[in-house]
Amino acid sequence: MSKPIIAPSLLSANFANLEADLDSINRSDADWLHIDIMDGVFVPNISFGFPVLKYVAQISKKPLDVHLMIVQPEKFINEVKALGAMMMNVHYEACPHLHRVIQQIKDAGMKAGVTLNPATPVSLLADIIHEVDMVLLMSVNPGFGGQKFIPHTLDKIKELRALIEKTGSHALIEVDGGVNMETGKQLIDAGADVLVAGSFVFNAPDRVEIVRKLKQL
């Protein structure tokens, strides 16, 4: 079995020491850098905007996995593309015309992902799963870092894996929220491909080492 993809989450970085924090991720075996953009409307928090992310994109040597926790994410496809993002991820709950948005992201030259909040069932993806490159399952309620893992996520991963195999989709399964060595192993065993880890990586004394350990799960 291939090693999991590890995507440290920028939300947990120290923005007063951002260049050094990003350098530690650049030196690690992390595969991607996960970026959460929040608007204070779709989720009860505001994170960072494109002027900050332009700087992050210049420093990061990892592909950018951009997760938009905002209303009307389709308005910002060009801005995300301008960052050089590898993946643009939008919420199912924020996109009444999801198929159109997925196509617009792909037409812009990025991979397209769709995110489900903890209370949103996997079955709602049946008609779009073959169009997306990745599904992100939130294992905490979105908006804040450092939250406790929701165990039901493991059942949702298994259900999503079955849907992917049944439909012949090639979508990756990404999980974000409460990831550590214990939950990470459970998530990988359940069928996850990508682990987003925020505070667990950025609060570690040795980030390079903790990423290496996550890659061994």
Catalytic residues: 36, 176
Q: Alpha helices of 97-152 — where are they, by DSSP H?
A: 98-107
CB-based contacts of 97: which residues, under 8 Å, 6+ apart?
A: none
What's the one-letter identity of residue 213?
Answer: K
How many CA atoms lie within 13 Å of 194's alpha carbon, on the beta-carbon side?
A: 24
Which one, of 69, 65, 67, 80, lies nearest residue 32 by Cα? 65
Q: What are the helix (H) ranges across the chain?
A: 18-26, 50-59, 77-82, 98-107, 153-167, 181-190, 199-202, 207-215
Round to whole Å and give the CA distance between 174 and 88.
13
All residues at 6 or more sequence positions from 76 whose CB lies less than 8 Å from its CB, including other chains: 37, 50, 68, 70
- CA separation, residue 58 to residues 23, 63, 114, 127, 183 (Å): 12, 11, 26, 37, 32
Q: Are 95 and 101 in contact (CB under 8 A)?
A: yes
